[in-house]
Structure 1
């Protein structure tokens, strides 16, 4: 440790204040953009629709789209056909002359923009799955729009532009008016394991059955709002969905032996369920553990048959932004009841036998747990059901219903990663009921607003599931590998969904980590939790933007976070704070007995040079040591560190000139440490300092990020302690995603790494003579055991 003694000449009363001031010479030297500049032009100007506080304005409005859908599932051709009546209500102050409808299935069309703009590399070896994906042009996908008509049957002019369709209105739609029109359509369902996608079918060759997870199955209204006008950015596959709220009445016709689960409440259980199933379902609504409605034995029996007829399942969903369903004769179905603020809700799961035993044990319990934990931290869940469906899709969300992956091995065993993967994906996808199904952000523009916020909530929910739950994302340390990557491999969080690099890290992990850092380190749990809940309350069943989130978090907490939004969301800067050096100062007490004793201790502690050490051995006695007469004088016995009576008298006279409080300062024994801090990564962060004292005890000091406000790159901070410090460490609990811990300690700490020992082996050499016998080299009989001259 570098140690300097501060000699205070003059009044000791001046010792503390000047030391605590920042050194003027290194202030006001920010290079480039000030990282504490307020977000001005980056955020839209507040208005009567969206206020500066982040709340909806007095004239906030949003459109409405109500649907009456009849859809048929063809289990022989794996196809969907349907008709829908859309009633679109113009609640904006604008006059509309056309409407935009989303045709998301068109990403599978022959002329798909998704396919034509997709880039890939060919490798010398290719899997059959990769080949199937590249050859997906063989699949006749996309919507076949059979008609677009207004109420009364008259055809409407319409133009299809890839995944968007413009419907021209026969007359302008005035504010507060509604318009009803109909669309008839059909499309072929994609083989999801082969072609990918957020919905599709999975085929089970063992029992020759299909499991359908069906979404984006109907032409859906695009959003028209005060921010973008029409949100009709093309769907290319990454940027998900922007949708208005409305009421849904949906009739699903499927094979008579299928079990259907869907968004909303089943309206005709007497027509589609047996008496036994209805009885079990009634029991499940008040059960505190899952009740099986369709058993595995019943599902296995259904797998063996093929009903010739059909059943139509009728569902109603109110105030939702979308609708999805699942259908299969393979489904086991269980459910349990719960109450959130007195409102009864049913948690359900649909899964094939291939999902057991995991699904029967964990799925519905995870659904219920998610609703409880999310409701506690955002808003109470208001919908009547929440459903988890198991199929080949890794995870996808819709109102009241989600598709989730992970299944055990065929023998029923499973790894820990499979178990926790299942629980996590269910928490995540069911959690999407809150973001963006209720807090309805624009996923087509900003993936992070639903995935990032939801991943953060998922982390909190996982930690309430089990102590030390192995969460993949949320803790700052888990984002470090991504943050330290080359910046050319990253994009800022505030990047459009279709242009993001590394979607998982960018839109899920980084924003979730940022929120966790806000909660634990920057704002504190109390302020963060209140502000986050206020955001959910303000924007439930509305369309928030990033600015609404940023402003609400600041407005409800009283914390200026512009520096954090700017650095974490708008740049690729990383956290790398370093301790550059430490200077140790103590007060010169002027007491000769104390100061001389200290000087003697330091003198005795000074190491002897190599020559001095060897001379002690080689020179047994010097000339003076032999007491030769005339060689010794005053200085041979003089002790310059000895305290004299004159020294004591001068000290007493000095003390009399001091005030009592100044006299106290002389003998407090305080230690002053000037710590040099540097921001290497560019991202300003709070400075968390752990001081380890000489006696082994430790103390944590949390310094807000504003320490960097006058100089974004380097500062010095003085710490005053009443006992010696032997080590300083930055971010000891890994709270800030610091990408280089090697410079976080002073004195520097060596971090052990590992290398693996192995016995070097010679690589087998190819020997064509062994595998391709010729006329000059006879083949070796298989029974001889000879190996020739090669190495086997």
Structure 2
């Protein structure tokens, strides 16, 4: 009978549920959306090449490419001709069926697809030179002209050119641990970079007809082959810079005999290209640690620029373990240098510049180079190369091993504004600093601009601040990135975007990563932990090829700080920081419970024991709280507290605090980006306390967090992030009581 009864009741019950809908439908499950989730979904799987700690693995390898290059500059035609022999080492475990060579000059060739890939609009105002360059000039006669590619025996090799990349087709695949040598002969017309653009070329001084050359990407260069991408043969579209293997260079450069030159590497024939007096001055510079010594004087440069020598001179440079080569040459160059003492060695800082750059450059450039080498070395490793050279090239800012071009000159009357001087010093620090990132810590610029520009902008910020002059740094301070991060999301993309896909290049690839690293150092990790981990990264990957994962993992591995939440938000998203004060409640202590507290379920003590009589904290606006109860706490006025204190020993009483005021503060987070909560509390008497709550306070609620304050003094003001350390995009919700924001007009 029971079974029969149950059988009939069950369908009736189900029917009733369906008809009356009294049961809430079961909610569907959800994916993990916690912003503190580890980044296993974003990072490459560790392996024998790159370990989970962020260090190179036991199977890590990298290729090598050595160059012997002979080039000649035709100054009258602005033409560069050259031949090179490349010896390539296959240190990979793979058979290579072909080799890829970079032909970056082809980015400006007449059949280049780079201009075709850019959207255009009709500007209505043009300088005459720009209008002529855009609409009147014939198709570009630029780009590499390859005369031959030959093997070591002089036989022609098969090759295919695809825009800015050339594939050399090997008759027999290169086996692991083998080498191959081949030669390429080429020439190209050098561009006027001020009119045609480009990272190198010449600057024309029309009055006298002289040119100042800064020459780079001037030779066919080996592409990188590695465990991450195989061949890095992405086309050079213009924004994403370069990925290059290390190697040794021997370069002979023939120029007019009246030119002065600097280049990557050590000059091997100084006595042949400098006068005896200039050689002696250089020897003095090698012992001068406090100020530069002028080696080629302004008078000598002015004399040279008046004539155009028909004679030639060959400069011979040798560079070991570098990834690239750059050259600066002109008859207009003044040249100065000084010695720089690092912890383990002495290196040379030098500058070359025309008279138009003085007095600014003579007074500032080489000293700034020296400061940069000291600052960067202290945060990473001692600068390993023998020299660093700064070249005055107006409208330029570009870097190569041991040499870089930098803008910034006085006006026609020799007057330099603070803006020009600071801009020039900033770019010198930045471009010299690129020797460390990416010339030595050799990241892939073609793929990840931030890994060199962002890290280097952060290092630049530290070097600028270490000048001790309150230098007006553009990138690094958190408040400076707020306009970008609060902008229209249509024009924002994560830092972890390919170089060619970035809309606001400077903010995304330079400013935001530099700011993020500064926040890590100053606010999240602290200088000691950050500096140690950053130095570990630099030393692990100097003269190697790191990836973003290697950086992220090393920073955690060397510090024991969980940073996945930060890298996920700051680098992989366009989330912004906005933390506010949602509510502040004041409470008063009483022994009289409100009706709600009387009926509240009491939390039992340990082991379920009854905790005994209660003291109550009642919110200020509760209507049941009597006016005479709204007063600062005195222990003796609350019998239960007074009785408790009376049971303590004198020693225990001495450890007690005396809070008189009680507050509950609720913080909210309208922004998606996680960040520590920095709180400044100002009391009625004007004194201040600061609190820092780690980012983990948001682990269990992405929207709000609460903290309780028991204070001896009444609180007058609460402010979040008073020093603007977190890039909070909206400070109008950062203060309690809410303060009226002045308009820009006010």
Normalising by structure 1, we get a TM-score of 0.83
User: What is the alpha-carbon distance in structure 2 between the residues aligned to residue 144 and residue 209 of structure 1?
Assistant: 25
Q: 1:552 aligns with which of 543, 554, 559?
A: 554
Partners of 1:721 and 1:651 in 2: CA distance: 17
Tell me the residue number matched to 1:91: 91
Indicate which of 389, 413, 437 corresponds to 1:435: 437
Give 3-state SS (helix, strand or coil) of 1:465's partner.
coil
Q: Note closer, same or farther for the CA distance 1:651–1:89 as it changes in structure 2 (3 Å cut).
A: closer
1:416 aligns with 2:418: yes
Distance 1:129 1:380 in 2: 45
Give 2:245's aligned residue. 244
Shift of 1:127: 2.7
Give, in whole Å, the separation in 1 of the partners of 2:315 and 2:708: 72
Q: Displacement of 1:253 after TM fit?
A: 0.5
The alignment status of 1:570 with 2:572, answered yes or no, reads yes
Structural mapping, 1:175-190, within 5 Å: 175-190=176-191
Equivalents in 1 of 2:442, 2:331: separation in Å? Answer: 34
Q: CA deviation at 1:55?
A: 0.4
Note the 1:124-203 alignment, pairs <5 A. 124-135=124-135, 138-203=139-204
Distance, in Å, in 2 between the alignment partners of 1:694 and 1:259 is: 69
The reply to whether residue 683 of structure 1 matches residue 684 of structure 2 is: no
Alignment of 1:59-138 (within 5 A): 59-135=59-135, 138=139
In 2, Cα distance between equivalents of 1:398 and 1:370: 15
Maintained 8 Å contact 2:394/2:409: no
Cα distance, 1:269 vs. partner? 1.2
Q: Deviations over 1:372-428 (max 9, x none)?
A: 000000011010010001112420000000001111001100110000111110000
TM-superposed deviation, 1:654: 9.5
Following the alignment from structure 2 to structure 1, what is the Cα–Cα distance between the partners of residues 327 and 640? 93
Report the Cα offset of residue 339 of structure 1: 2.1
Alpha-carbon separation, structure 2, partners of 1:723 and 1:650: 18
Asked if residue 460 in structure 1 is aligned to residue 450 in structure 2, the reply is no
Q: Which residue number in structure 2 is paired with residue 749 of structure 1?
A: 739
2:321 corresponds to which of 310, 319, 322:
319
**Does the 8 Å contact 2:225/2:232 carry over to 1?**
yes
Within 5 A, what are the aligned runs for 1:495-510? Answer: 495-510=497-512
Cα pair 2:591 2:638 within 8 Å, conserved: no
Is the Cα contact below 8 Å between 1:30 and 1:713 reproduced in 2?
no
Query: 2: CA distance between counterparts of 1:180 and 1:640?
Result: 94
1:30 and 1:710 in contact (8 A); partners too: no
Inter-partner Cα distance in structure 1 for 2:543 and 2:248? 13
Change (3 A) 1:487 1:69: same
1:259-274 → structure 2 map (5 Å cutoff): 259-274=260-275
Tell me the distance in 2 between the aligned counterparts of 1:276 and 1:654.
90
The aligned residue for residue 300 of structure 1 is 302
String of CA shifts for 1:70-96, please: whole Å, max 9, x gaps: 011110110111000000000000010
Are the structure 2 counterparts of residues 221 and 47 from structure 1 closer, same or farther at C-alpha, using a change threshold of 3 Å?
same
Q: 1:655 to 1:521 in 2, by over 3 A?
A: closer
Q: Secondary structure at the match of 1:138?
A: coil
CA contact (8 A) 1:397 1:432 kept: yes
Distance 1:742 1:149, change over 3 A: same
Distance 1:323 1:666, change over 3 A: closer
Give the Cα–Cα distance (whole angstroms) in 2 for the partners of residues 670 and 185 of structure 1: 84
| Whole-Å separation in 1 of the counterparts to 2:88 and 2:662 | 70
Q: Unaligned 5+ residue runs, structure 1? A: 1-28, 592-597, 607-638, 643-648, 757-792
| 1:204 pairs with 2:190 | no
Select the residue among 360, 383, 399 that pairs with 1:381: 383
Distance in structure 2 (CA, Å) of the matches to 1:334 and 1:640: 80
Q: Is 1:222 matched with 2:211?
A: no
User: Which residue in the other structure is 1:701 paired with?
Assistant: 691
- 1:740 is matched with 730
Aligned-residue offset at 1:111: 1.0
Structure 2 counterpart of 1:660, from 623, 630, 647: 647
Question: Deviations along 1:24-68, whole A, 9 cap, x unmatched?
Answer: xxxxx9998221111012100000110000000011100000000
Question: Structure 1 residue 602: deviation in Å?
Answer: 12
Confirm whether residue 729 of structure 1 aligns to residue 716 of structure 2: no
CA distance in 1 between partners of 2:107 and 2:369 (Å) = 31
Counterpart contact for 2:87–2:179, Cα < 8 Å = yes
Secondary structure, counterpart of 2:724 in structure 1 = coil
Task: Note if contact 1:682-1:713 (Cα within 8 Å) is conserved in structure 2.
Answer: no
1:444-455, aligned counterparts within 5 Å? 444-455=446-457
Pair 1:359 & 2:361 matched: yes
User: Residues 106-134 of structure 1, C-alpha deviation per residue, up to 9 Å, x if partnerless?
Assistant: 01111112111122210333332432453
Among candidates 387, 401, 404, match of residue 403 of structure 2:
401
Q: Which residue of 2 aligns with 1:12?
A: none
In structure 1, distance between residues paired with 2:641 and 2:168 = 94
d(CA) in 2 for partners of 1:232, 1:300:
45
Deviation at 1:666, TM superposition (A): 12
CA distance in 1, matches of 2:638, 2:122: 86
Alpha-carbon distance in structure 1 between the residues aligned to 2:722 and 2:453 = 29
Q: C-alpha displacement at 1:590, in angstroms?
A: 6.9
Higher Rg of the two aligned structures: 1
> Residues 130-188 of structure 1, C-alpha deviation per residue, up to 9 Å, x if partnerless?
32453465330100011011111101100001000000112111111000000000001
- Is the contact between residue 590 and residue 638 of structure 2 (CA under 8 Å) also seen in structure 1? no
Q: Contact 2:246 / 2:323 at 8 angstroms: preserved in 1? A: yes
Query: How much has 1:342 moved relative to structure 2?
Result: 3.5
- 8 Å CA contact retained: 1:30, 1:712: no
What's the CA shift for 1:466? 3.0
Alignment CA distance shift 1:652-1:543 (3 Å): closer
Partner in structure 1 of residue 48 of structure 2: 48
Q: Structure 1 residues 515, 653: closer, same or farther in 2, change over 3 A?
A: closer
- C-alpha separation in 2, matches of 1:160 and 1:262: 29
Following TM superposition, by how much is the alpha carbon of 1:675 offset from its aligned partner in structure 2, in angstroms?
1.1
Q: What residue number does 2:8 align with? A: none
CA distance in structure 2 between the partners assigned to 1:346 and 1:72 by the alignment: 27
Deviations 1:241-298 (A, max 9, x none): 0000000000000001011110000001122111111111111111121111110011
Q: For the structure 1 residues 176 and 694, does the alpha-carbon distance in structure 2 shift closer, same or farther, using more than 3 Å as the test?
A: same
Counterpart contact for 2:53–2:557, Cα < 8 Å:
yes
**Match of residue 513, structure 1, among 490, 512, 515:** 515
1:715 pairs with one of 680, 705, 711: 705
Give secondary structure in 2 for the equivalent of 1:40. Answer: helix
Count of paired positions: 681
